[in-house]
Structures are given as structure tokens and as C-alpha cells.
Structure 1
Amino acid sequence: MTLLKQIEIDQIKDKLSDDISQLGKIYKAKKSAFISISVDHNLVDGYLNDGWEVEKILKTKTRVRKPKTHHKKFEDGVWCQFYDLGYRYLNYDDTFKLPYGKEPEDKKQIDVVAIDKETVILIECKSSEKPKPSNSLKTEFEGLEKRLDGFRKAIDQAFGKGLKVKYIYATRNLRIDPESIEIERLLKTKSFYYNDNTYEYINSLIKNYKGAARYQFLGLMFKDQLINTNKIEIPAVEGSMGNKNYYMFSLEPHILLKLGFVLHRTRANEAEMPTYQRLLVPNRLKGIRKFINEGGYFPNSIIINFAQRKHKVIFEASSRSGDSNSRFGMLKIPNAYAIAYIIDGQHRVYGYSDTNFTESNTIPVVAFTDLDSIEQLKIFFDINENQKAVSPSLRGTLQRDLLWDSDKADQRLSALRSSITIELAESPNGPLFNKIEVGEDSAILKLSAFLSGLQNSGLLPKARGNNYIPESTAGSIYNIHNQNHKKEMMRTEKIAVQFLNLCYGLVEEQYPEVFERERSLIMSNRGSYAYISLVGSLNTWETIKGNLDYKSSGKERFETISKYLIALLDQLKSLTTEEEESLLSKYGSGAEKKWSLNFQLLVNKVFPEYETNELVIWKERQDKDLLAKGRHFGVEIEKFMKHQVLRKIQEIFGDDWELEINSIKRKCLERAEEEKEKNYKEGLGRTEIEWTEMFTINDYKSIIDKYWTRKPEGNGDYETFQDQFSIDVGEGLGSKAKSVKWISRFNSLRNSWAHEGTKEKGLSKEEVRFLEDIYNRFYPSFN
């Protein structure tokens, strides 16, 4: 492109402003959700008819406003981000055009332009009000390389050579395959794809890092690009530990801020996986700045890793001392963006930004070179494993990276569950995109709901160590016989993600009123657990029937079970308010399981042939007649135990029987007093309660255990506790522990029949049969 004429340079600069006052006013207007203008009073009615509303009546004008379009709001939001990042030379409206060729028509409108002393950022914004697939981007990127070359030449002429130019294609709510040829063309030009993840990440940086956000942003945009060609030379000591060389030195914070980069566990850094760092805590950062400005300092070292992808760190050593393997020398560091990954100490490094000591202090640094992300992650975990700051979400997210190559099956499966969930959350083309919290990214759904849902769905097997649990493999997508674990995990992940995206896509596309509901029955933590569990259960059901196997694709699985999901969703859509509240009110321990069973029951109503073992048992537990029958047996068994235990202990010890069980008596007396107090406070007056009425099942068991074979003196034919209370529950009678095991099981069932209002728990047929067997064993003796 020929040199721009001065008039063309002036036209470019006329569309930019570095007036701080003007930029502040523009920033305020762009932060607003409304477009506001002042009009003559007599024109107000016309504006009102066009959808405007009165904001304020002034002396000579009326200020009217209307909501910004989604695209305008997004474009203004991006502009405000760059203002917050410290850029103070920006376009002030959307009419900025930049030449890229010789012809007059060779100009392109740029939505946001941000310039400082080192960089020029050109941003094109595209958005949709609701998530949708993007239109073809062929025309956008096909000639991009040529346009960018022209842009750079125009910028050199208008603003001087040496500025780093970055073109950003920013999108909101547009689903673009990151592996598409269009994105490949964009990235080939060294441009940046600024998607929903990046937009939210930059907002988080601004919120948490304030002025320091700029450093992380520059590292993200210009990673590995030289700031200048002058190397940073500092004295250093080279050492070795853990078979890794490292360097110890001191460095001014302002240098490390530019060289440094933090691998935040956020979707915006997905190309750097595995990532592990949490975002800074704003109040803590503020406190650190105050501490530094008041003369405070941190004597411990920052730990970094020099990523030598393009630029090498050079150590020129002097001779080694005879007393140590360490050696002194000069370390030469390339002056490049994001070359130093901060493993530990980001609060201290970023705390120095905007302080009085950024250039005058030096901070101690321990620097490794060429650690891969896994090694960095392990160091981070070793340092932080006992700190609460590593959130459960971050820990769950890192399972993928820490355990993927484990030699234990159960750990690999943990990694696989984590990886599937992350892919669901980070796939721009899926309905769960940005809806599951991953690492430091907050979202409406918790990572743990998906991890536990996948664990109990049957889609993946369960294992202990390297032993797979046989009953968990019936409907598994994972082929446990494939010894190429990595290949099998990748195959399984691909199928599972496709399968679950299709299942959630059904809700999003055909049942939007269910998908978008504020108190959602699907898009909630309990609902997600239940939905994934149901999907897995149906997958197992159809696998057992022979309609699916581990080789079936995600699409085949979805097509096979979709009729069941439609049955569920049709009923969820038409639940009465009372039915919906009944389900939504299930909180606390076991709530996820109750939701899961309710989902199964709704499918069972339409497809009675679909019935899992857990659903059968749950339905039995809702049977009031069955519960009443079990309660009858339980009450009679407890009566029998009380009668026989007290009778026998008196027969064995005579008048001393109370002293023999005095420790139990003391507890019973205390319970009796508590019961008397409770009755009194509830208005029942003074009631006398015998301590022998306060025995528990465990008290009876303690007496039976202790005096198992005891007999009264001189009574050789006496029926002992062993004779009377030994009952085989399927494990034989080879020991006392096996002989009285029934008592522990009986006690565990007691809460299911001893109190009214236990419908949620109830008793199954098998449990009632157990109680009936014990009852029949004792009943003749009781009579």
C-alpha cells in the first residue's frame, strides 16, 4: 500500500480520542444499558412512539432513552474492558475505518480500537441475543491475512513503526467450532479469537486484579512475543533438586509483571491445559498493596517456570566452588511477554503493581525451566494442598490432569469423569457451554453434580484400585478389556460428551420452558444429577436388552433412549404446582437420589416395562400396608428382646443384676430424666418413667455379647443368650459376631418402622421378610 496522505492520517486520528475527560464520559455512556439523548420537548411524543422512554425532563430539553440492542451492548462492553485495562487512546464511536489497500474502497470499519505506547488492538464484534450457530465465516477470514498486512502498514504510517498490532475477532453467544477451517484461518494470521470465555475471563481479571489485569491481558494476547530485543541480565545462582535445574535471583517487580503469566484455571486458557491457578482475591490484593506501600516486604521466593518455546534463557556460569554443586553466573532472560509462568506467589507479584516500590524493590525468585504443565501443577499442589484457597471446584477440575495417566483404574476413571464434564462445559457447540463451573469460572451448575452423576450413572464402570466392580459394567461405554487405557479413555470421552450433549440438547431445543426455568428441574444441581443418572440407567436398560453395546455411538444411544426422555420431559412440563414444589423441596442428604428415583418413576409411568431394582425397592418403600406389617414385626421383636434380656440377666445374677449392668443403667436413667423434662416442657405434667423403659437395641446387644454363654450357677441345662439369640442371616453361625449380626441390621431398620412419617424411607419387601423371619424365630418362645 502506498503512503497515506496526511488528510487520510488525520481522518484516522480524528476518530480517536485521548482526552481523559471525554473518554470518561464515553465510558459512563457505554457502561449504561440504555442509549440516552436529549431532544426538544416538542419532539418527545415522536420518540415515545418509536419505543423511547422519558429519562429526565430538563429545563430546555427532555432526556429520552431506550435499551441498547444486544450487539450494541456487547460492543460497548468490549470497549469498556479496554478502558478498564488502562487504554486511554480509543475510538469514540462506531464509524472508525482503517485503510488496508490502495483503492478508496479498501477500508474496513473496526468496532473497537485501543492504542497505547506499545500496542494497537483492533477488535471486530459479532453477537447474537441467544446462543446460536454462527453463519459462515468464509468471507470474514478468507482475505484476512491481506487486510491485516494493510492495516499494519497504515498503522505504521499513522502512529509510527514498532507498535505491536493484534486483531481480535470477538463473539458473544455464537457457536463456532474451535477446530473449524475458519478459526484455523484466523489463528494462522496470529489473530486472537475472543469468545464468550475470553470476555468473561477479562471481566474477572478486571474485577480481581484492577490495574494489574493489564499485565495478564498482554501476556494472553502477545504470548512469547518480544517486548524488545534487549535481554534482561541479572546475577543468579544455578542449583539442582529433584533432577531439575533451577536459578535463584532477585528481580524488580515491574519486569516480572511484564514477563509473568498465570495459568488460571479458566476456559479462556484452554489451549494451555492443564491449568491450575485460582484468580486473585481482590481484598487480599488491596491489602498487599497497602502493606507494601507502608514499607512491608515478603522474604519468601516467587516460584516461576521459564517456558522456552521460542526464546531461550541463557546462563553464563563462572567457575564452581569446591564446597558446593551450585555455581554463580549471569542469567540472560529474553524480554518477552508471558515467558515466566508464575507457579506460586501471584498475589505478591501483582500486589506490587500500582505501588511506590514497583521499580525500586527487588523480590527473590526461584526459576525452573521447561517444566511441563503437569509438573507445574504438581508443584502448585504440593505448596497449596493444605490451603483452603484451592477450591473444591478447582480440585475436581484438576483430577483430569493429575490422574489421567495413573496406573490405577479408579484414578483414571476419576480423571475421565472430570474430563467429560469439562468438555461439556467448554464445548461452544453444546447446550451446557458456560453452564458448569470449571476451575475458577463460576456458573449456574456445580462441577460436583456432574462428577457424582457420572459416577452413579452406569455410563462408566466403577473400580477399586485396579479391580473393576462387575455389577457396574453392564451398561458401561468404557471397554474394560482394552489395555490401551489412554486410547479407550479418549474414545469413551468422545462418545459420552456427544451422548450427553444430545440429551441436554433435546431439553434446550424442544422443551425451552423446562430448560430455561428459573427453579429448574433439569438445569439445577439436583436435576442434573438426576437427569444424568436417568440417562445412564436408560443406557444400561437398553444395553441389557441387546439394543446397545460399548461400541454404540453417542448418536445411536440418544436415538435409542430419546423416547424415554421425551416421556420424562412431557411430564415435567405439565407438573402441577404442588407436584413441582414436592420435588423442589427435597434438600439435604439423599436429595439427589430422591430426585433420581422420581425421574425414573415418571418414565416408568409411561413405559411400565422400564423398572430398575432401585426403583422397585423405592416403590415398595412407599407402600403404607407393607410398612405397617414391618412395624408390627419390629415392635414384637423389640418386646421379645426386652422381656428375655431382662429376665435372663436377673436369672443369672439375682439381686446383683442391676450392678452388673450399672453402666447401661446410668445411661438409661439419664435418658429417663431427659424424657421427663421433655414431657413437662410440652405440657404433659410430671410423669414417672422407669429406667428399664429406656433400653436401646444396642443396650440389649451389649448385654447379649457380654454374657453370651453365661448361666446361673448350678443350672447346666440353662438356655443361654447364645442359644436363644443366635440367628443365621446367610453367613453361618461360625462365630458370635456372625450369630448376632442380625441385631445390627434390625437396629438399622428400626427408624424405618418405629416412627410415623417415615414414608420417604419405608421398608422394602425383602426387609419385611427379614423382620418376619426374626419374628417367627422368636414368637413361639415369646408366647
Structure 2
Amino acid sequence: MTFIDAIEADELKNKVTDDLSQLGRLYRSKKNAYQVKSVEHNLVETMLRKGWEEFGKPLKTKTKLRKPKNHSNKFEDDIWCQLYELGFRCLNYSNDFILPFGKSSHEKKQIDVIAVKKDIILLVECKSSEKHAKAPSFKTEFEGLRVRLSGFSKALEQLFGKGKKIKYIFATRNLKLDRTSVDIKRLNKTGSFFYNDNTYEYVKGLIKSYKDAAHYQFLALLFKGQRISKDRIEVPAIEGNMGQKTYYMFSIEPHLLLKMGFILHRTRANEVEMPTYQRLLVPSRLKGITKFIQNGGYFPNSVILNFSTKNHRLQFEPSSRGKSTRSRSGTLKIPNAYAIAYIIDGQHRVYGYAQSDYKKSNTIPVVAFKDLDSTEQLEIFMDINQNQKAVSATLRITLEEDLYWNSNRTDSRMKALRSSIIRELEGAFSGPLYKKISIGEDKATLSAKPFATALIRSGLLPSAKGNNFITGSADSSLYNIHNHDHSSEMIRARDSIVKFLNMCYQYVEDNFSDIFERDRYFIVSNRGTYAFICLIGSLNAFESDNRNVGTKTSPSKRFNAIEKYLNALLVQINSLPEEDEKLILGKLGSGSEVAWLRFFQNLVNQKYSKYEPLELIDWKERQDQQLQDKGRKLGTDIEKYLKKTVINILKQLFGENWDIEIGAIQRECEKRAAEEKEKLYKEGLGRQEIPWTDQFFVTDYKKIIEKYWTRKPDPTPSDFKSFDEIFSIDAGFGFNSKAEKIKWLSVFNSHRNNWAHAGTKEKGLNRDEVSFLQTEPVN
């Protein structure tokens, strides 16, 4: 007896299509963000009033109109398109696929997307919100789901035949619904799959990176642990032990490994598997590997796997053991199940076979462990990859939490804490930085690196080297270095810092939305991240010095203490003259982050003069043109004196051969003179003679002075003074050795490099450095 009557079954079959041309047209239509229609010219005005707009060239009798799809239809279309891109070629073509789950007329449910592929059927229920919002309760829907799925299974068997794997997918967009919530636990108990924003973005990334091979990882994600078939895969293997771990060595056809393999990509979609560690494939590299295989190439090194035997047991049937070895050969029987084999190393090699003609005829070498936990897999991955292609800075920062949280080293634990803070900032659904920070392989507006750098340099976290905190670095930090229960203190400090920073960013979003929402502007940008967090840390230190906040101050009280300073910063940013804005935004390169921080600090200082940290005082002095002119004149006079005095003494020591005596230096100076001569000529200034003696570096003078330190001519004139008598200066570095007596020259050279970069205001001289120049020999 059939579950559905024949007429209804035929109607349902007619609401799905496997016609490739029709599917192609549907895909193009659904991929479009707009609804599109053509109407008679006389209907255009009416349609425009209903929210439609004209686009393209008018046709002879009709006008083309379009209107943005509403969020619900757009989401359903996006899911449909994603499944099409994953290779499903039998899908619903309308939104009225109403599937019975019982015999009565009311026991039916509309299915938003149905997709069929060989032995797999996916039923997708889509729920969305136009903006991020808290999800309603799905208690009633999920409590009755098991019964509906049983009925759906019978209906689908009648429509598409027996033996299909059916997966119900509950897909959401912009709905806050935690994987640990009661609703999702109810969903999981039915064997269904929760497909949230993170999953959608992850699958989108899979399709981009893996192209036509993305469906392997996708199916492993959906059917993890479920049997592909009842038959086990049997391979000849060698069993061994290494580091108290059992492993197997064998060869296997790539098409089998593709089906049962799973990659722990470091993405939000795999958060339940934490710690995860793998990068998404590089498409160009994957294409190159496939071409290499097609041309007869091969990889002699082994793919590294970990078999998860939680649900399906491996069987090893030994046949023999050599007398001189603890290893033994035999047959390994592998359960043919989805995602049983975690690929630790070699995903490019495995997926390189996905589009190859040799995926069934070649075999690839494998070393497989069993039941390694995620942390052990991560350690193997890092050990293998530290000497190969560099792990990206973002992925490395993200992995630090899992690698170092329980480390014995203090500096490693601080890295883990920093990593955890960044992940919490990015992952807080109601937070202002939600999904704005790149985490693992998930790309976003902001990089994780400026957050990582700023959290340490801001003073919000203490700095450490080895097992010791650096003196003074914890003075205003939110981490209590005296609490030796490291894990609890790390959690407390993380929560405090995350709440504090979120309040600061939320203040900008709520009160200065134009600043917050502007792309690559002063707050939500990589340069702005460093400057803003370091400013917050600096303001926190200022209030800490004034004893208004301490390590245990609540985030809200800490924020209240610095709120007025943030307001001063943002008000002045809002009223910046266009030229000043362009000047600051135009600062690029490694020094731009610090330049932005000083700019921020200076804006606050203009409103609150008592806030003037030492680094800001130093920066302001280096912007003082009068001071720079004075320092530059002093420095120029010292250089003139050095040149005159050094050459004069050399002439007294060696007469007309003085230049030959310093031949190596002379040759370098002549080379510089020739280069300067060529440069001036090419700049259109004509041919100019450049004396080589104008090309001495301060380091050249220092070498000459050191070499002939106490040398005197023979006979020695009564008024002759040697280098040591003229250039021995006590500049506060000791006054015993020759090195100490001429240390001032190295310091002078460092200062000279600062004033020589006249176009870079971050350089220049401060008051102490100008005072130092006043103590030199010419002065």
C-alpha cells in the first residue's frame, strides 16, 4: 500500500526537476539579488509605486523592472544555489513543495528546498531575519520533528525509491541560536543538521576553494559518523607503535579516502570540534596538483590521518610478526563511514585526485593513527607545517589559545589568553565586533594581528618572557599576576577585558555611528584597531595611576572612568578639517599604527591637558619645528667639526699619503660621490663635481678615530692633540675604556638619522636629544 496517493505523488514529482537547462535558468534567477519581470509600458507607473525600479534598456513593448528580494526569499534562493553549486542536479523549482508526513490532510509540511543526488535527499527548512535578532522558540516545531521525519521518509521512498540517505537541515540567517541551546539539542536528537550563518559562510568558502570537490567535505559535515555502506574497506597494512600511540601504514585509493575523509578547518562552522587547525585549500595550488597527477606525477610522502573510532571500530587482523621487530603485518578493516578519517596532513594531495582520472586506479601511502584528540592532531599539524609553507599570522594567532592555554610557560599562556580574547570579541553575537575579525580561515573586515599586537602593547595584558613577567608591564593590566590559579585568572581577565573593550566599541557604534560604520576609517580598520585599543590601554593606565581603577575594577566602572576621553577623541574626529583627515588616513606602512595612536592621544590631550603620557610628550617635541631647527644646526656643526678635525689630524700623521692610509674608506666615499653625481644629473641639475671628502659617514669618522686613537706624529709638535685627547667625552656611558669614551659618536649617529629624515615627523629630536648635542666637542 502506498503512503501517498498516485495523483499527489505525481504532483510532487512535477515540482522538482532534473532538467539541466531548466536548472541552469533557475540558478541564474535565484543567484540574482533582485526579482525581475517585464511588464507592459502602461503598467510601469503602478509597479514603480509598489517598490519596483526600471533597469536596462526598454524593450519594444515592455519595460524591464526589478525589486530586491525580501530576506526570506533571498535566503531560500541562496541555499538552493549553494546546493546547486555542490553538484545537486535534482531540485525543487517552486516554493510550494508540500510533503505529507501522515495520512490526514493537515499532516503536511511545506519544504523550502529539496535536493536529490544519487542516494542522498536533503530537506531544508529556512528561517531568517532581515537584521540580527534573537531567535524565537522552536520548541513545538522540534518536538514534533521526529514524527514528521518518519513520515517524510516514507513519502520520499515512494517518490525517489528505497535506500536513500535523508537529512533534514534547519537553516537560519541572522538569528541568534546557540548550538548549545535547548532548541538545537532537540534538533540534534532527531539526527538533523543545524545550518547557521557560520555554516553557510563555511560552505561558501569550500565551494570557492575546492570547486567541484567541495561536496566531499560537505557530505562529511552533514553525515559525520554515518555509514556510506555496510561493507568495510579492507587494505593490507603494517601495525606499529610510536610515542605510545598505535598507527597503521597502508595504501588506499583516493576516491575512498575522499568519501570518508574530514578536514578540521579552523572556521566558526567547526566550533564544536575545537581545537581545529586546518587551512582551506589554495585553489590555484589544487589545480596545479591535479594537473601534476594527470601528467603522471606522484607524491611519495604519506598522508597523515587520524581514525575516529567512537562510533565505528577499526579491525586489524594480524598475519605475521617478524622476529626482529615489534611491528606486524595484516589486514586493516576500515568502517566505510563519513568523516571517520581526519586528514591531519596531505589535504592538497588527497583533493588533487578529486578531479583526476586516477582517483580510482592510483593508491596513495597513508600513516594513520587512531583516536588522537584534537589537541594531539593540532600538535602534529604544527610540527609538520612549521618547516613547510608558513601558517598564516591569523591562523597562528587563532591556534594559540588551543596550543598554549595550559602551558607551563608564562609567555605562552599570555599568547593563549590574547588569542582567546580576540575570539571572544569576534564571536559575541550582540557585540559590536561580531564577525568583524578574521578568525582562522574565516575572512572579515579586520585582521587578528593588530588586536594581538595592541593587547600586549596597550598594557591591558602584562608582557612576559619565559616564566617571568616583565617588570612594570602588569602595573595597569587587568590580569592579576599574583593569582597562581592560572586558568581561573585567565578566564576572569579574558571576560573583564572583552566586556571592557566591547563597551568602548559599543560607545562608538551607539553615539558616533558615522565613524563606526565608515569603511577603513579611524576605528573599524586595521590601523585604527591598534591605535584605538592602545589608546584605551593608555587611558586605563592614566586612571590607574590616579587610583581610580585597579585590576579588580568592574568593566562598567572602568569604562565610566575613560568615557569622557573617548568622547573627546570622537567629537574631534568628527570635526577634523578635510586636509588633516587626508593626511592621517594617508599614513601607511609599519609606522602608521603608532602615528595614529599619537594622533589619538594628542586629540584627547587637547581637551584634557592632564592626560599627557611620556610617549606623547616625546612625540610632541619631535613635532616642534623650532626644536628641530636647533638640533639640526647643532648636528651640522658637529659634523663639520668632525670632518675638519679628523682630516687635519690624518694629514699631520701621514702627510700627503693620508688618503691612501684610509684607502678602504676613501673608495666607499668615492663610490657614494659618483652615485650622488649621477643622481643629480638624472634629476636635471646638470653635471656637478662632488668631492669624495663630502661623503664621510659618522661611522667612517668613528672607525678612523678608533684606529688611530692615541697615534702621534714623530716628532710630535707641542700643540698636537691626538684623537683620544679631543674626542674622549663622558656622555654618561662610563669613562674607562676606549669604547666607552667614544660611545657618544654612536649616539650622535643615531640622532643624526632622526633629523636626516626631515619628511617623517615621527622621527626628529626630542629635548633630551638636543641637549645631548649641546655637550659635544664643537659646543
Give the TM bin, normalised by the shorter chain.
Answer: over 0.9
Q: Distance in 2 between matches of 1:454 and 1:142?
A: 45
Which residue of the partner structure matches residue 695 of structure 1?
696
Q: Distance in 2 between matches of 1:54 and 1:693?
A: 69
Distance 1:66 1:235, change over 3 A: same
- For 1:737, which of 736, 739, 764 is the aligned residue? 739
Q: Which amino acid aligns with 1:300?
A: N
What code does the residue aligned with 1:652 have?
A: L
Q: Do structure 1's residue 23 and structure 2's residue 23 form an aligned pair?
A: yes
SS at match of 2:321: coil
Match of 1:747 among 739, 746, 749: 749
2: distance between equivalents of 1:99 and 1:169? Answer: 18
C-alpha distance after superposition, 1:111-149 (max 9, x if no partner): 22223343332323233444x3324x22x2344032233
Q: Secondary structure at the match of 2:774?
A: helix
Distance change in 2, residues 1:710/1:260 (3 Å): same
Match of 2:212?
Answer: 211
Moved more, 270-279 or 483-492: 483-492
1:410-449 matched pairs, under 5 angstroms: 410-449=411-450
Letter in 2 for 1:723: E
Q: Which amino acid aligns with 1:599?
A: F
Rounded to whole Å, the distance in 1 between the matches of 2:11 and 2:552 is: 63
2-structure distance, mates of 1:120, 1:754: 71
Aligned equivalents of 1:588, 1:217: Cα separation in 2: 40
- Determine the structure 2 residue equivalent to 1:615: 616
Residue 361 of structure 1 corresponds to 362
Amino acid at match of 2:523: I
| Alignment deviations for residues 633-686 of structure 1 (CA, whole Å, 9 cap, x no partner) | 222222332233233333334444333222222222333333344444445555
**Partner secondary structure for residue 472 of structure 1:** coil
1:534: how far off? 0.9
Which amino acid letter does the alignment assign opposite residue 664 of structure 1? I
TM (norm. structure 2) is: 0.92
| Residue 726 (str. 1) matches residue 724 (str. 2) | no
Residue pairs, 1:7-156, within 5 angstroms: 9-10=9-10, 12-52=12-52, 53=54, 55=56, 62-100=63-101, 104-130=105-131, 132-135=132-135, 137-138=136-137, 140-156=138-154
Aligned equivalents of 1:700, 1:476: Cα separation in 2: 46
Separation in 2, partners of 1:253, 1:683:
66
Compared CA separation, residues 631 and 41, structure 1 to 2 (3 A): closer
Which moves more between the two structures, 116-125 or 572-581?
116-125
CA contact (8 A) 1:177 1:428 kept: no
Does the C-alpha gap of structure 1 residues 709 and 267 become closer, same or farther in structure 2, counting only changes over 3 Å?
same
**Does the 8 Å contact 1:177/1:429 carry over to 2?**
no
Cα 1:389–1:751 change in 2 (3 A) is closer
For the structure 1 residues 463 and 59, does the alpha-carbon distance in structure 2 shift closer, same or farther, using more than 3 Å as the test? same
Unaligned runs of 5+ residues in structure 1 are none
Structure 1: how far apart are the matches of 2:758 and 2:385?
Answer: 49
- Give matches, 1:619-638, under 5 Å: 619-638=620-639
Matches within 5 A, 1:275-314: 275-314=276-315
1:462 matched residue in structure 2: 463
For residue 211 of structure 2, give the secondary structure of its aligned residue in structure 1: helix
The 5-angstrom pairing of residues 137-286 of structure 1 reads 137-138=136-137, 140-159=138-157, 163-286=164-287
Structure 1 match to 2:550: 549
Q: Please say which of residues 240-249 and 302-311 is displaced more in the overlay.
A: 240-249
Offset of 1:504 from its aligned partner?
A: 1.9
CA contact (8 A) 1:156 1:163 kept: no
Residue identity matched to 1:284: R
Does structure 1 retain, via aligned residues, the 8 Å contact 2:36–2:65? yes
Shift in Å at residue 742 of structure 1?
Answer: 1.4
Percent of pairs with identical residues:
56
Q: 1:733 to 1:360 in 2, by over 3 A?
A: same
Structure 2 counterpart SS, 1:451: helix
SS in 2 for 1:388: coil
Partners of 1:595 and 1:582 lie apart in 2 by 11
- Distance change in 2, residues 1:299/1:731 (3 Å): closer
Cα deviation code 1:430-453 (max 9, x no counterpart): 222222222222222222222222
| 1:449-488 equivalence runs, <5 A | 449-488=450-489
Q: What's the offset of the Cα at 1:103?
A: 5.7
SS at match of 2:568: helix
Q: Which amino acid aligns with 1:738?
A: E
Distance 1:678 1:228, change over 3 A: closer
Equivalent position amino acid for 2:735 in 1: L
Map Cα deviations across residues 254-304 of structure 1 (whole Å, 9 max, x no partner): 221111001112221122222222222223333444444455443432221
Q: Distance in 2 between matches of 1:145 and 1:413?
A: 44
Say if 1:624 and 1:759, in contact at 8 Å, map to a contact too: no
The CA distance in 2 between the partners of 1:758 and 1:208, in whole Å, is 42
Q: Give the whole-Å Cα distance in 2 for the aligned partners of 1:176 and 1:561.
A: 34
1:598 corresponds to: 599
8 Å CA contact 2:757, 2:763 repeated in 1 = no
Paired with 2:343 and 2:180, the residues of 1 have a C-alpha distance of 29
Separation in structure 1 between the aligned mates of residue 676 and residue 265 of structure 2, nearest angstrom: 57
- Paired with 2:146 and 2:22, the residues of 1 have a C-alpha distance of 29
Alpha-carbon shift at residue 162 of structure 1 (Å): 5.0
Once the two structures are TM-superposed, the CA of residue 614 in structure 1 deviates from its matched residue by 0.6
Q: Give the secondary-structure state (helix, strand or coil) at the position aligned to 1:470.
A: coil
AA matched with 1:462: S
Amino acid at match of 2:260: L
Contact (CA 8 Å) 2:757, 2:764: kept in 1 or not?
A: no
Cα gap change, 1:679/1:352 in structure 2, threshold over 3 Å: closer, same or farther? closer
Equivalents in 1 of 2:338, 2:69: separation in Å?
A: 37
Q: Distance in 2 between matches of 1:509 and 1:7?
A: 58
Q: What secondary structure, in the 3-state scheme, does the structure 1 residue paired with 2:213 have? A: helix
Q: Comparing 91-100 with 591-600, which one deviates more in the overlay?
A: 91-100
Displacement of 1:61 in angstroms is: 5.3
Q: Note if contact 1:709-1:722 (Cα within 8 Å) is conserved in structure 2.
A: yes
What amino acid is the match of 2:770? Answer: V
- Mapped partners of 1:445, 1:498: distance in 2: 19
What secondary structure does 1:504 align onto? helix
In structure 2, C-alpha distance between the alignment counterparts of 1:122 and 1:217, rounded to whole Å: 15
Q: For residues 27 and 210 of structure 2, what CA distance do their matches in structure 1 show?
A: 19
Once residues 196 and 263 of structure 1 are traced to their aligned partners in structure 2, the CA distance between those partners, rounded to angstroms, is 18
User: How far did residue 778 of structure 1 move?
Assistant: 4.3
Q: Is the 8 A contact 2:3 2:154 kept in 1?
A: no
- More divergent stretch after superposition (673-682 vs 366-375): 673-682
* 1:297–1:626 CA distance, 2 compared to 1 (3 A): closer
3-state SS of paired residue (1:471): coil
CA distance in 2 between partners of 1:670 and 1:464 (Å): 45
**Structure 1 residues 409, 50: CA separation in 2 closer, same or farther (over 3 Å shift)?**
same
Q: Counterparts of 2:683 and 2:13 in 1: how far apart (Å)? A: 83
What letter matches 2:272 in structure 1? A
Q: State how many pairs are aligned.
A: 773
Structure-2 separation of matches of 1:460 and 1:748: 31
Q: C-alpha distance in 2, partners of 1:353/1:20?
A: 23
Distance 2:79 2:163 in 1: 25
Which amino acid is 1:751 matched to? Answer: N
Go from structure 1 to structure 2 and tell me whether the alpha carbon gap of 1:532 and 1:360 turns closer, same or farther (over 3 Å shift).
Answer: same
For the aligned residue pairs, the C-alpha RMSD in angstroms reads 2.7
